[in-house]
Structure 1
Amino acid sequence: MPQITANGIQIEYEDFGNPAHPPMLLIMGFGAQLTLWPIELVEALVERGFRVIRYDNRDVGLSHKFDGVKAPGIIKMTILNKFGITPKVPYTLEDMANDGVGLLEALGLEKAHIVGASMGGMIAQHVAAKHADKALTLTSIFSTTGNPKLPAAKKEAMKVLITRPASMEEDVMVDHGVKLARTIGSPGYPADEERLRDRVTTSVRRNIYPEGPTRHLSAIVADGDRREMLQGVTVPTLVLHGEDDPLVPVEGGRDTAASIPGAKLKTFPGWGHDLPMELVETIADAIAAHAKTNG
């Protein structure tokens, strides 16, 4: 696996497809490694004529870890936000956006199609808003605006997301990962049990770092409401969202599209907060069509 220094830290990344083809940067979400982008989706995008780059965000996978840097508790951050006070956090979503931009620059790429999922969508929104010269297009997948008036995640989805496994034993970690995937996954496209367990096992064996998600969460909470920022986005934007997402309800996608001038919205029944095999071709078609039309 290649690593490169970007934005002052080491970033683990993978590069697929013809280097001469238009680049597409995939940004994954909260606590998730680059491998959560299904290789089938990566290959589908390559087949549609793109050079596809996926990478581990800071504090996850094989990228730089901010060991020993403490984040404020979620309760404290929530209270501060209610009073309009931005909590001090180890790093921000803008910092994470700068990582992605730094990766492009380190690879010698002037621009790319930017695709982000969940927290990765929030990071991608920052790229489009603050580094428009680096973004050919933006695709925001099951993400949101930070609007506090939007419906919250279902309690069971948030609980399993922020609950740490009972131990670091592999079987315990895998069971926890499978439970998380089932809880936030697509009710219309339930994952095959054997395939899901194999995927989670591979992820656990690749890297486990429980401290990273705590700092990721602090960056999300501290970012607050992005609607004003999104009003200034001029990059052609596509928003994709599942109508049955228990973690980031579809209203988040609708609000994202409504906040970005000219953005197009596509929602799908039965789709939750994952990237099911049954929707890989559909998702790849939507991203590729948007990129080719506007790139």
Structure 2
Amino acid sequence: MSVKFHDVHSCKELFEIAQLKLEHLYIHFGLHDLYPDHYTTPTSPLEFLKYAKEELHAGDCSRILTNVINQSNRSIDSSIDEVLGCLNIDTKIKLTQTSIEQLHKKYSNGRHSNDFSLKLKLISCILNAPTILVDNARKFRHLVEHNYQKPEKVKVYTAVETAQFLNLFIDSKTNSVHQIDITDVKLFGQACNQSSNKRTGLTFYWEALDDKTKYYLKFTRKNEDIVDVYTYEFKNSEKLLLMLLRACFFDAHDIQNTKKTIQDIISELTNENFNVVKYIVVATEI
């Protein structure tokens, strides 16, 4: 059996090639064991956190508490930069900035986040990260450094706990990331009958090549003698890519949010009516 590889120019083109039955769509989430953890900051988030806690053991005068605030925020900043570095998303690119703002407008939880930095808006939308806590820690550092306020001890401890919580949160998220397969009842049934673990529809996945993460949407069609593999490579600034990443990092306890994201993704791919029949996580319907 021969295999032919085809590059396509857009996600919509690939969706049309797949010809999925829109009234009987299945969404399959399989665990992705290849989180691209190839990027680390020169000083790690945990190292900065260690510095902050060592300072606390030295006393509680204003100078020490100010240093603790700074080290805690450096831990926070390096945690965020490591995630975005691993995902290969550059917030300095204009097209990426536009996509982030569009994503934030669609999924933000209120006006309180409008003055977030682009990086905070992004991890809020993709990871559902505790960005209000992070933003409060940053604003407190600004007041101490630029408005010359004396650091309040309880807010200093809150900043340390925020840095620690963010690190644990990101570690948990990146260890439970999912691969997404948009398929239909017919293709999914064929895979089940063949006891195949291979995805059958449009599969979203990534590869870390030369320390740069690249993202793909793939569809495989099997005929009698030929296997056709159609692949679209995302630009890392695309809004649809950010939406798919949001779905990959979903929370099991907030499945309604995930379903809405999937609905939005499919709406981006087709102008026709569609119906998602089942959402399946590994082998469990949700």
Q: Same fold (TM over 0.5)?
A: no
Task: Indicate the structure (1 or 2) with the bigger Cα radius of gyration.
Answer: 2
Higher normalized contact order (CA 8 Å, seq sep 6+, divided by chain length): 2
Alignment TM-score, normalising by the size of structure 1 = 0.25
Q: What TM-score results when the alignment is normalised by the length of structure 2?
A: 0.26
